[in-house]
Structure 1
Amino acid sequence: MIGIVGGIAMLVGLVLTWGVAVPFFTVSGDMPTDMGLIDFAMRTWKTKVRFIGVGTIGIAAIWTLLVLMKPMVEGMIHSFRMLKRGQSESDDRIDIDLSPKTMIYILIATVALIVISLHHFIAVAPISPELSILLVVVCTFLAVFIGFFVAAASGYMAGLVGASSSPISGIGIISVIVISLVLVSIGNATGLFETTDGQKFLTALTLFTASIVLTTATISNDNLQDLKTGLLVEATPWRQQVALIIGCFVGALVIAPVLEILYHAYGFTGALPRPDMDPTQALSAPQATIMTTISQGIFTNQLEWTYILTGVGLGAVLIIIDEFLKKVSNKAFALPVLAVGIGIYLPPSINTPVVVGAFLAWFINRHIANYAARTGDKQASAKAERFGTLFSAGLIVGESLMGVILAFIIAASVTSGGSEAPLALNLENWDGIGEILGLTVFIAGIIIFASRVLRAKKSD
């Protein structure tokens, strides 16, 4: 899905992290006597190197927004002109969107929901009514203002190169920093920042407001991808838009209880529902964790700005390299800085399969292209790509569904007084065997995927 260019960029991030940065910091630091090498390396990555990735992602997101600024502004101007002029005069159904009046009503309703949500969140805090109103107004403005530009940038990027290349992680980090700095100013001016409880409240409010911005970005990301697909197949825009609005409501109703079940079944990193739970089994949620860490660091004045600024410098160098490669190769080669940053700040357990998948897809595509050239079968590539895409989508959806199903099983077991791991196999030396079995299954999955895709090129 990310392509060989993105895979190479993430591999560069992995090499910079585990081949350069982590060894440098571990050699220059003192390892605790009660900690193993692997644990020490992981702690070094979490507390130092990961923030370099944050800086790299942040500068990459800013650069992406600057590059997209001109076409994005032109698109918004065109949209406002269409909004002012009213419904399109064309009778062609593929040119008919929701009416401007309907969109204005939806906007007003959305802002009202944001105000209600923020008021409900802030009302429980022991602060004055005047300060509550101020925070509701400021956070609503931040959510709507930042969300508007974030939606435009994410949606434009998703429609241009696909949803997987949209800089949502970087935008989320920038949003958290901006919202945190604004609320720090309010906290200092009102005295709310002087107490530990006040700092915790502002941290939670920052994350709550940022979640609205990120929700805007992800919905825009997904919807623009769908609308682009609809344009290609000549769907009716206003019908798509109605369906997408319904999808937003359904998603809002479904996501909350599913997350609640996942929380009680696995817990999240740093937030376990029961004291006897195994923290290694908690859902990592790396983006949410790093945004929480950034927000807490700003409010406690303990954020590792040195590492973040190092990442910004690294990102600036990578941007120069990326632009140079594009220029000398006529855009045949590139080094996406955002992907490099993601390779630095995501754990290797997530990055490695993505990189392997990118290279696997590249090799398979090369083989199929050579096969098509030898045999003259022009449909071979399309057939194999279609099968590979469906196979990959099935793996992604299947993994997600199995995670939810297992969460239901675990939650049912715990509530009935049973084990937190009802399906676990308790064997001696299971840790070593488990790693070997996991690697074996991973390799077997690669072989099965490759063989099925290559076989599909010959099928009718």
Structure 2
Amino acid sequence: MPQITVKAVVLGVLLSAILAGANAYLGLKVGMTVSASIPAAVISMALLRMFKHSNILENNIVQTAASAGESLAAGVIFTLPALILLRYWADFPFLDTMAIAMFGGVLGVLFTIPLRRALIIEKKLKFPEGVATGEVLKAGTEGGKGIMQIAWAGLAAALYKLGQTGLKLFSGSVSGSVTTGRSVFGMGTELSVALLGVGYIVGLNIAVLVFAGGLISWLFGIPLYMAFANPGEVAEVVGNMEGYNAALEIWSQKIRYMGVGAMVVGGVWALVSLAKPLKDGIASSWEAVKQAKSEDGPEVLRTEKDMPINYVLWGIVALAIPIFIIFTQVIDTSHLPVSRGLYWTTMGIGVLFSLVAGFLFASVAGYMAGLVGSSNNPISGVTIATILATSLILLVLLGSQLDFSVDSNRAQAAAAAAIVVGAMVACAAAIAGDNMQDLKAGQLVGATPYKQQIMQIVGVVSAAVVIAPILSLLFNAYGLGGVLPREGMSTEEMLSAPQATLMQSVAEGVFAQNLEWNMIWIGAVIAVAIIILDKVLEAKGTEFRTPVLAVAVGIYLPLELTVPIFIGGMIAWGAAKVVAKRAKKNSEDPDEAKVEAERKGLLFSSGLITGEALIGIILAIPFAIQESTDALRMVPQSFAPYADWLGAAAAVFFCIWLYKVAVKK
């Protein structure tokens, strides 16, 4: 059956661009992204049915390209907005942003080609989104009901988001706090249906761990810090703020650095866990090269043909040249005034570190995607580890010629250099995890691996072209992480960009020598304890596990973002229990019933995420034109108390609707 056809390429390019924009908005808002393979597969099925001739392998090719856009957006928005937060960029320059995204993404595709056999065939990892996508593609050959679930959920989520962010009829969040002595216990929740969908997709285990990370920060970290820290230091942080706002400021400036420590330890632990699969993957790749050169070697099946490894190696070497050029373009000599020899040495080390760290962390991302899925891919952890290591290397290299403690502009440029290296690695790691999921889906439906790898590159290029104008539009409409492009803008709708804010703080803190090392070490100790607990649970053979990176994500996310994720996970768990009990009562297969319920919930949740994210992109246009997030407001500020109740009631309605969809027979 034909795979790479004209209509498949056109649809793949368009969906890659659209989903890149949707995930860019979601990631900047909440600091998390989710796999778009399933909605891409369903949408492609619906569109390809309009043609007289289409097949399941074309569907797979379309979703392969489309999901690349979503993953590339994750790598970009977790890092490059940090250059805005550093005030190094005033906006997102098109060529620079596109080049970093494109070269990093293509590296991610190339890095994971040697790992396909080791991780998918020999290691037999789960690859949950890949399996789900494969099942959706197979189900699509029998009927397209799934597109209706995504369509209705997407429409409802879009209208709800329009009422929240545009018309101001619904509140976007509710929060409160209790003060005991010097300590504040804050609690709140985002009224976001996209986060509800995220929680359903990741399931109860991960949702509980993310929420537990939030509790570590907000139930223990913030109150303990306020109770035992020097009162003058606490007053310097919180200023005149009280209650929930004071707790939020303590978390922002102090406690979230525990998440940095936890993420670094988690990234290192993932590398250690990957040592054997990485070795096996490289050995398998070289064996394939020898067989290809030998005329007497066994013929390789179509479904086992990867892009030739010699092309992969030459491609990686060739990419080093444009990567070097873009590094010198973004970090020029006017920003980094050192001797010519040291400047070129620094740029060369940056390129080398991008390639080496990119390969190692792309391997980590591919392996972790197989364990917990693309939605929980540890992009943040590996990027933080990259930026921290790069910053320390640059501090040693440049410290002899630059006094960072005196000239903040030089520290800013050095921090920006670390961010650019981190962005390259983040894009490679994000695409690597997505690539492995798509290859798993392709294995289930009989696709040709090298054709999928070609379409991954097509999807990367498509998304890279549109990502800069989308980021610029979002920045000018909402503002990012405390930076507002114009005076008088409201901070209520500002996109928090939590990962980018964290990257900026880590890089800047190293050169300013004011990084919160005590908090980082506390987070590292917490991570070690979680790893030990996970090994104990593994030895006991329990189903519930504690992957450290999921907890670390919760530590540095605001608690109000983790609450709807937890609720979504609870709905998934409750629906599975009800469906299994009903199947057992009716003498049906409980496992088969749970899979069917999970599929319906996944499709509906994907619709919630897609609808809210897309309307956020659309609303950015009038907001940017009017230079105000109140451009579409229908009610006065005094309506806020009623908006809280309406928003909470609507959120409860969506929870019930999601549950009903999942358990419906």
TM-score class, shorter-chain normalisation, is over 0.9
Aligned equivalent of 1:394: 607
Quick check: 1:205 aligned with 2:410?
Answer: no
> Is residue 481–residue 494 contact of structure 2 (8 Å, CA) maintained in 1?
yes
Matched, 1:364 2:575: yes
Match of 2:358 among 135, 144, 147: 147
Partner of 2:137: none
Corresponding residue to 1:332 among 543, 557, 578: 543
Q: How does 1:401-412 map to 2 (within 5 A)?
A: 401-412=614-625
How far apart, in 1, do the equivalents of 2:419 and 2:487 lie? 24
Report Cα offsets for 1:330-360 as digits up to 9, x if no partner.
1423222221221111112321111111111
Which of residues 190, 196, 202 in structure 2 aligns to 1:2? 202
Ranked by relative contact order (alpha carbons within 8 Å, sequence separation 6 or more), the top structure is 2
Alignment of 1:151-300 (within 5 A): 151-191=362-402, 193=404, 195-300=407-512
How high is the TM-score relative to the length of structure 2?
A: 0.65
Which SS does the other structure have where 2:399 is aligned? helix
Deviation string, structure 1 residues 385-424 (Cα, Å, up to 9, x no partner): 221111111111112111111112212333xxxx442112
Following superposition, the deviation at residue 89 of structure 1 comes to 4.4
The counterpart of 2:226, out of the listed 4, 15, 26, is 26
Amino acid at match of 2:227: V
TM-score, normalization by structure 1 = 0.93
Counterpart residue number, 1:434? 643
Cα separation, 2, equivalents of 1:67 and 1:101: 27
What SS does structure 1 have at the residue aligned with 2:331? helix
Moved more, 259-268 or 279-288: 279-288
1:51 aligned to which of 257, 268, 289? 257
Give the deviation of 1:160 after TM superposition: 4.0
Q: Please report how far the alpha carbon of residue 207 of structure 1 lies from its aligned counterpart in structure 2 after TM superposition.
A: 0.7
User: Offset at 1:80?
Assistant: 3.3
Correspondences of 1:58-77 after superposition (within 5 Å): 58-77=264-283
Greater fraction of residues in helix: 1
% identity of equivalent residues = 32
Q: Deviations over 1:435-460 (max 9, x none)?
A: 322222211110111112222xx2xx
1:55–1:312 contact (8 Å) kept in structure 2: yes
Q: In structure 2, what is the Cα distance between the partners aligned to 1:55 and 1:122?
A: 28
- Secondary structure class of the residue paired with 2:603: helix
Question: Closer, same or farther in 2 for the Cα pair 1:431/1:314, shift >3 Å?
Answer: same
Give the secondary structure class of the aligned counterpart of 1:276: coil
Report the Cα distance in structure 2 between the residues aligned to 1:149 and 1:303, rounded to whole angstroms. Answer: 26
Shift of 1:371: 1.0
Specify every segment of 5 or more residues in structure 2 that has no aligned partner in the other structure, as ranges: 1-200
Change (3 A) 1:67 1:100: closer
Hey, what's the Cα distance between the residues in 2 that align with 1:165 and 1:428? 38
User: Does the residue aligned with 2:249 lie in a helix, a strand or coil?
Assistant: helix
**Residues 211 and 559 in structure 2, CA contact (< 8 A), matched pair in contact too:** no
Deviations 1:11-47 (Å, cap 9, x if unpaired)? 3222222221212122335456732211111111112
Residue ranges of structure 1 left out of the alignment (5+ in a row) = none
Which secondary structure does the structure 2 equivalent of 1:189 belong to? coil
Residues 97 and 192 of structure 1, relative CA distance in 2, 3 Å threshold: farther
Secondary structure of residue in 2 paired with 1:270: coil
Q: 1:108 aligns with which of 317, 325, 337?
A: 317
Cα distance change on mapping 1:45 and 1:150 into 2, 3 Å: same
Specify the code of the residue in structure 1 equivalent to 2:221. A
Contact 1:119 1:132 in 2 (8 A): no
Q: 2:263·2:381 contact (CA, 8 Å) conserved in 1?
A: yes
Contact map agreement 1:297 1:303 (CA 8 A) in 2: yes
Runs of 4+ in structure 1 displaced over 6 angstroms?
A: none
Aligned equivalents of 2:651, 2:554: Cα separation in 1: 20
Answer whether contact 1:5 1:336 (CA < 8 A) is retained.
no
Deviation of 1:196 after TM superposition, in Å, equals 2.0
Alpha-carbon deviation of 1:140? 0.4
Counterpart Cα distance in 2 of 1:129 and 1:15: 50
Are 2:263 and 2:385, in contact at CA under 8 Å, matched by a contact in 1? Answer: no
- 2:152 corresponding residue in structure 1: none
Query: Does structure 2 conserve the Cα–Cα contact (< 8 Å) formed by 1:269 and 1:279?
Result: no
Q: 1:86 to 1:133 in 2, by over 3 A?
A: farther
Q: How many Å separate the matches in 1 of 2:566 and 2:289?
A: 43
Q: Which residue of 1 aligns with 2:60?
A: none
Contact 2:575 2:597 in 1 (8 A): no
Q: Distance in 1 between matches of 2:450 and 2:588?
A: 39
Report if the CA contact (8 A) 2:260-2:384 is conserved.
Answer: yes
CA RMSD of superposed structures (Å):
2.0
1:120 matched to which residue of 2? 329
Contact kept, 8 Å, 2:479 with 2:485, in 1: the verdict is: yes
* Paired AA for residue 398 in structure 1: G
Return the offset for 1:366.
Answer: 0.7
* Deviation (angstroms), 1:238: 1.3
Give the AA of the match of 1:21: G
Distance of aligned partners of 1:259 and 1:438 in 2 relative to their CA distance in 1, 3 Å threshold = same
Alpha carbons 1:172, 1:210 under 8 Å: kept:
yes
Corresponding pairs, count: 451
| Counterpart among 555, 563, 567 of residue 344 in structure 1 | 555
What is the Cα deviation at residue 362 of structure 1?
A: 0.4
Change (3 A) 1:89 1:118: farther
SS in 2 for 1:430: helix
CA separation in 1, counterparts of 2:367 and 2:528?
23
* In structure 2, distance between residues paired with 1:84 and 1:284: 51
How far 1:278 sits from its partner (Å)?
Answer: 1.8
Residue 370 of structure 1 and its aligned partner are, at CA, apart by 0.7
Structure 1 residue 281: Cα displacement: 2.1
Contact 1:155 1:224 in 2 (8 A): yes
1:401, 1:222 → 2: CA distance? 21
- 1:96 and 2:305 equivalent? yes
Deviation at 1:124?
5.6
CA displacement 1:183-238 (0-9 Å, x = unmatched): 11111133364632211110111111111110111111111111111112111111
The more displaced of 100-109 and 111-120 is: 100-109
